[in-house]
Structure 1
Amino acid sequence: AFKGTAVEGLDDEGRRAPDAPFVELYFAHLNVPSAGRNLLPAATWDYLQKRLDPGDHALLVLAKGRYGIVSDDFQRGTVPDRLTLNQNKLPLEMRDLDLDTQLNLPDELRDAQWRVFRVISPAGLDPSLPLDFELLVSRSKGQFMPEVVNKPFAFRAELPDQYFEAASSDSKTWRLSWTSRWWELLLLLAGLGLLAWALAKPQWLTHSQTRLDRFRTGYLLFTLLFIGWYAQGQLSIVNFTAVIQALFAQRSLAFFLYDPMTVLLWLFVAVTFFVWGRGTFCGWLCPFGALLELIGKLAQRLGLQQLRVSTALDRQLKRLKYGVLGVILLCACVSVSWTDRLVEVEPFKTSITLNFVREWPFVLWAVATLLLGAFVYKGYCRYLCPLGAGMGLLGRLRRWDWIARRSECGQPCQRCRSDCAYQAIEKSGKVDYDECFQCLDCVVIYDSAELCVPLLNNARKAAGQTVIPIVPVGDSA
């Protein structure tokens, strides 16, 4: 295979035993009960059924010989660094399930290297069609800046006909993912329509703080319980990295169509970038953000004192998330395995997708971000979230400043600024839309004759009463 390349003849072991097998590959589809139950111990089989979501596939690949399906520095739980999977010329992502068990293997395969990989339902794997694997073999020449030559070796695996029931041709396309979830999509569209109406005509919603609080709490529960935990509609920085990696590999983006919830949410959010900015998603449609906000509200009800970061420190901390975003996107251009590690800065997968059923380091990180939110209002969203940073950048497509301001706002009135939990209003009274989560609290104040100090003073002047002196607050607010 390497004949005529710079690394020809460098395989000493191959020269000594030219007839010895380099690698023999074996495959088993563990979703087939007769395969899974025979190869896995009973406890592992039961565990696998709990790990797999409906439509997911567990694929066992074994390698016998002197070359493994993953390298020595492979990180468990990530995408394999040597093995890829395609079906109908469409790449399917496999991810190691990190199973730690003893397989029931014949004697000749006892020493084989093996991994169990998961292909999630949205990938659209069809068990009735052939699976085309490619094993990447690398050789290098030289010590300093070595010349590396890669050669892919293909093998095809097919499930025998008796182990599946062929579906109609329409069921083998992304359309099935949409039609099978029709009522979820209709409910999502209804929820998005309600939100669009409420934000486009906020006068009814912001008539009183109580009305806004009730509506907002109810909608956040809808976002968390239905969009997040039930329908698995948590948008993620992984959506960005998947696009980048697909473009670099010159692959189609059609795989997104197998996840209709994500497609509809992104279409809606894309429109809101031009109307309201990043706040519509981050403030209303992010399940993890909803969880954080509800925890923050609960902490306040329990009497926990939340910290308000100084203006100068808050400004510096808000820059962190853009650095995190930049590192992840840069890594997505050069390394799949490192990208898989870095995106774990998002606790979304642990808390929303997997419901905290995961290895303890991931759970610990997710819990830490939630605890931070109990003491610093939505601290993760404001300071660390790479998806929020991306939303903030895309939110600059906004065509107008939709939050009304008065001449007295910031000059000298600081009422809205002091009440803004996100610290998204500058001392001048200008709203920083890149950091605004569209909570509408300042809109309630602006429209209220009882809360807005300029309106109160105008009413007092009209009644011949003493006006309220407006004293600017310090920068520490």
Structure 2
Amino acid sequence: MTIRIADITTAPFRRLWLAAALLAALLCSAILAPARAQSDGAATASLLDRLTPPVLAAIYPGVTRLAMVADDGPVSAEAYIGDDMVGYVFSTLDVVRAPGYSSTPFDVVAGVTMDGTITGAVVLFHREPYLLNDRRRTEQLMMFLDALEGGEARLGAATRIEPGFVAGATISARAMRNAVQESARMVLRYRTEDFVVTEPTIDMINFKPMSPEALVGDGGLAIARVTNADVIAALERAGLGDLLPEVPMTGGPDNTYIDFVAGYANPPRIGRNGVGLEPYDTLINGTPEGTMGIFVASLHGVYDHRGTRLNNLSNQFRLDRVSVTQGRQSYEFTKSDVIFARQQIADILLLPKDAAFDPMKPWRADLYATALRPDGQREPFVLASLDYTLPQGYILMPEPTPPPVWVEPWVNARVEIAILAAALTVLTGILTFQAKLSQYRRVHRYLRTGFLLFTLVWIGWIASAQLSIVHLINYLKAPFADLGLAFYLAEPLIVILSIYTAISLVLLGRGVFCGWLCPFGALQELLANLARALKLRQWNPPERLQRHLWMGKYLSLGLILTLVVFAPEAAPVAEEIEPFKTAITAMFVRGLPYVIYALALLTIGLFTERAFCRFLCPLGGALAVLDRLHMVDLLKRRPECGNPCHLCERSCPVRAIERSGKIVMAECFQCLDCQVEYYDDRRCPPLAKARKQRERAARQPAAAPAMPGLVLPKEATT
């Protein structure tokens, strides 16, 4: 085919040139805008200049002085109360430079104590599109950041308020929370040389004074309380019921014979509290590295775990009253294996250097006694057994690897995801079986009105899942701003709607989203239905004027893309061309100018259906450009459409059908009104004519049948 220069000025080629220009602008905005945004973000004041007295009082109350840390670590300042350093203050912009929903990094300053507690957080700068010029959400964000106070400086740590509290700006809130937690952890680890645990490790760091009773209470020590009655029972179990213990019992059956305690001695809370500082220091510093000890003590009663024979050479200095067993391995001890406490009957029993002993696994301590036969022979028996497992509180565990940041919103939104998936399944069924559905005018009207109400109320006002030009621009910019998969998946409902819109756009065209899934579009159409019910006069521009008005949405799209590239600070203002934030996500709770603008557009829509969608919507412009790619036309046409019949053209509420009968798919909202007319055999002229012919044929009497046995003359039959 030969193309003349003059042909390039025709309408089809103008649309192709426009599509190419807008796609190029989208690509430019994706490539150039992140660089501009990052350069703008870098031009900030120093940390101390940003930490004004009111800000400092909010993020770290009581701090009287700051001093910048001069090293190569994360930028931070030491916080002092008087002469005492109590923690650090930092900025997420300096430490992790995290972006929120926009590609421009925000600046949240916060404080953290030396023990890893966040003291407060304040946002100084952001370009989050759903927070700008929105006082209600900004106040919610401030309350959300205030709730970080007292939380743990660890990514993934729980907070008092969930990010969903900042309704409509959940992604921004979650990103700021994560940035504060991650920055605080990085600052502390670098400055304090925080002990990093990569596998379960015995806690050899933490210590606080505790009594034996308190250690028994938290599981650090296990106790066996043996009464005189228990001694008699132990003798019976050993088959020595006719004998008495070598150490005589005193008092009645309930009197204490011994309170025997045992535990793993290496943690300072157990060993140091049990035997005192000097004996414990002998275990830690006076024995070969890696030596393990078992703490045993006799607290009350006439019996003790030492006895006297550990001092006898004839007994080989054995501590014959105590043994330790783990699995199939048993350990016995001599006097040289014992570190004695000086002020109580408490000892640390040293395990052999080559002992295959795992202190994190269960073990058992057995306490023995002896019974005397009349001939003086001693008979040993087990007096008590202690089963012991070191409590989790004495084991340092590796910090749990937080799940990818996108997992949290998907888990939290699982109910909403299920509802949206069900709705999209219904919509898919409507589009798939639209030919059948369109044959029932009333069913079509009820089903469409019901789905539009669902889109407005649930998708828009409840779930705040209004897809907008902001999402499209951010998705395009993300790969060039090094924003990973988490950025794309941070908003589950928007992700699902975006994928469904992209697929339906390629298959069927723009109208699936604009006509069925856009909450603001649904609001306009429902109001238009109400206006027609009230018999308000409707106006639609002539075809030629309408073609010029259609260009408005491309111009608004071009304006936004231009500002994104060359004046990113002004782009959020231009994005307010979309009233979605005001009418849907904020539900009209915004500044008066925004509310007046949204109401003005809705008022115009009462007289010209979906005027904003048709003539001004930048997202609609982007989808209309890409509509040229759609592959399938499900909307049916007949040769009579446009010549001579104009029924569908007149029934189209948005005038997306030309006088020739051709449907302009880039302007079609897939409402199926034209298909209802197409299948109506009482309104569609070709179908009506065929119906009338069938009815006339049905009314004509059938030819009389010949009488049986009657033969007619030949001339009569002819």
Structure-2-length-normalised TM-score: 0.46
The answer to whether the 8 Å contact 2:681/2:687 transfers is yes
Q: Supply the distance in 2 between the matched residues of 1:296 and 1:460 (Cα, whole angstroms).
A: 35
Give the superposition deviation at 1:256.
Answer: 2.7
The CA deviation at 1:462 is 4.6
- 1:122 and 2:171 aligned: yes
The one of 322, 331, 335 aligned to 2:554: 322
Partner residue in 1 for 2:445: 213
Name which of structure 1's ranges 268-277 and 185-194 shifts more when overlaid on structure 2: 268-277
3-state SS of the aligned residue for 2:49?
Answer: strand
1:426–1:251 distance in 2 versus 1, CA, 3 Å: same
**Residue number in structure 2 paired with 1:284:** 516
Conserved? CA contact 1:221–1:290, under 8 Å: yes
Match of 2:668 in 1: 436
Residue 301 (str. 1) matches residue 326 (str. 2): no
1:421 aligns with 2:659: no
Q: Give the alignment partner of residue 602 of structure 2, picking from 370, 376, 379.
A: 370
Q: What's the offset of the Cα at 1:423?
A: 0.5
After superposition, give the CA deviation of every residue in 1:249-269 in whole Å (9 maximum; x if it has no partner).
454463231100110001111
Deviation at 1:171, TM superposition (A): 5.3
Distance 1:462 1:29 in 2: 86
Q: Please state how far the C-alpha of 1:341 moved relative to its aligned partner.
A: 1.0
Secondary structure of residue in 2 paired with 1:336: coil
Change (3 A) 1:225 1:379: same
- 5+ long unaligned stretches in structure 1: 1-20, 40-82, 102-117, 133-155, 157-166, 466-477
Displacement of 1:393: 1.4
Counterparts of 2:53 and 2:492, CA distance in 1? 29
Matched, 1:91 2:104: no
Residue 88 (structure 1) shift: 4.7
Aligned residues of 1:292 and 1:378 also touching (Cα < 8 A)? yes
Q: Is the 8 A contact 2:92 2:183 kept in 1?
A: no
Greater C-alpha Rg: 2
Distance 1:131 1:239, change over 3 A: farther
Matched, 1:223 2:248: no
Shift in alpha-carbon separation, 1:87–1:299, aligned structure 2, 3 A: farther
CA contact (8 A) 1:273 1:396 kept: no
Shift of 1:433: 0.3
Q: Secondary structure at the match of 2:500?
A: helix
2:638 match: 406
Between the aligned partners of 2:489 and 2:54, the Cα distance in structure 1 is 25
| Contact 1:321–1:386 under 8 Å retained in 2 | yes
Give the deviation of 1:28 after TM superposition: 10
Supply the distance in 1 between the matched residues of 2:450 and 2:409 (Cα, whole angstroms).
28
> Distance between the aligned counterparts of 1:121 and 1:212, measured in 2?
36
> For 2:621 and 2:53, how far apart are their aligned partners in 1?
42
Give how far 1:36 is off.
8.5
The separation in 2 between residues aligned to 1:307 and 1:194, in whole angstroms, is 33
- Give the whole-Å Cα distance in 1 for the aligned partners of 2:453 and 2:696: 46
Give the Å deviation of 1:392. 1.1
Following TM superposition, by how much is the alpha carbon of 1:199 offset from its aligned partner in structure 2, in angstroms?
Answer: 0.6
Distance 1:275 1:388 in 2: 17
Task: State the shift of 1:240 in Å.
Answer: 2.2
Whether the 8 Å contact between 1:243 and 1:253 is mirrored in structure 2 is no
User: What one-letter code is carried by the residue in structure 1 that aligns with 2:99?
Assistant: P
Question: Which whole-Å CA distance do the structure 2 matches of 1:323 and 1:454 have between them?
Answer: 41
> Match of 1:122, as an amino acid?
I
Matched, 1:389 2:621: yes
Give 1:243 deviation, angstroms.
3.2
Give the fraction of aligned pairs with identical amino acids, expressed as a percent.
37
Could you tell me whether the CA contact under 8 Å between 1:307 and 1:375 is conserved in 2? yes
Residues 16-50 of structure 1, C-alpha deviations (whole Å, 9 max, x = no match): xxxxx9962228999xxx948989xxxxxxxxxxx
Equivalent residue in structure 1 for 2:49, among 18, 24, 39: 24
Return the letter of the residue paired with 2:487.
F
Aligned partner letter, 1:121: T
What residue in structure 1 maps to residue 685 of structure 2?
453
CA contact (8 A) 1:170 1:176 kept: no
Question: Which aligned pairs between 1:122-201 and structure 2 lie closer than 5 A?
Answer: 122-123=171-172, 124-125=174-175, 126=178, 127-130=180-183, 169-170=401-402, 173-201=405-433
Deviations along 1:416-438, one digit per CA (max 9) or x if unpaired, are 00111111111111111000000
1:85–1:348 CA distance, 2 compared to 1 (3 A): farther
1:27-77, CA deviations, whole angstroms, 9 ceiling, x for partnerless residues?
Answer: 8999xxx948989xxxxxxxxxxxxxxxxxxxxxxxxxxxxxxxxxxxxxx
Of 460, 465, 468, the residue aligned with 1:233 is: 465
Q: Distance in 1 between matches of 2:535 and 2:682?
A: 26
Q: Is the 8 A contact 2:468 2:619 kept in 1?
A: yes
Higher relative contact order (CA 8 A, sep 6+): 1
Which residue of 2 is the match for residue 77 of structure 1?
Answer: none
- SS, match of residue 416 in structure 2: helix
Aligned residue in 1 for 2:498? 266
Give RMSD over aligned pairs. Answer: 3.4
Structure 1 residue 245 displacement after superposition: 4.1
CA contact 1:244–1:332 (8 Å) conserved in 2? no
1:282 and 1:437 in contact (8 A); partners too: yes
Matching residue of 1:312: 544
Q: For the residues of structure 2 that align with 1:237 and 1:278, how far apart are their CA atoms?
A: 14
Stretches of structure 2 lacking an aligned partner (at least 5 in a row): 1-45, 63-90, 103-125, 140-165, 191-398, 698-718
Query: Any idea what the Cα deviations from partners look like across 1:374-423, whole Å, max 9, x if unmatched?
Result: 11111011000011111111222211221111111112111100111111
Residues 410, 246 of structure 1: alpha-carbon distance in 2 compared, 3 angstrom cutoff: same
Deviation string for 1:196-248 (max 9, x for gaps)?
01111113421222111100010001101111111111000001222344455
State the distance in 1 between where 2:562 and 2:614 align: 22
Q: Following the alignment from structure 1 to structure 2, what is the Cα–Cα distance between the partners of residues 463 and 171?
A: 70
Tell me by how many angstroms 1:303 deviates: 1.8
Query: d(CA) in 1 for partners of 2:96 and 2:648?
Result: 57
Cα contact 2:510–2:627 (8 A) shared by 1: yes
Residue number in structure 2 paired with 1:80:
none
Q: Hey, what's the Cα distance between the residues in 1 that align with 2:495 and 2:54? A: 29
Aligned residues, how many? Answer: 353
| AA aligned opposite 1:396 | R
How far 1:120 sits from its partner (Å)? 3.6
The change in CA–CA distance for 1:347 and 1:272 in structure 2 (over 3 A counts) is same
Measured after TM superposition, the shift of residue 170 of structure 1 is: 3.9
Query: TM-score by structure 1 length?
Result: 0.67
Q: Name the SS for the 2:566 alignment partner.
A: coil
Match of 2:195 in 1: none
Preserved contact between residue 520 and residue 584 of structure 2 (Cα < 8 Å): yes
Q: Cα distance 1:38–1:315, how it changes in 2: closer, same or farther (>3 A)? A: farther
Structure-2 change in CA distance of 1:354 and 1:246 (3 Å) = same
How far apart, in 2, do the equivalents of 1:182 and 1:403 lie?
35
Aligned residue for 1:350, secondary structure, equals helix
Partner deviation per Cα, 1:162-209 (whole Å, 9 max, x = no partner):
xxxxx9644561101001110100000000000001111113421222
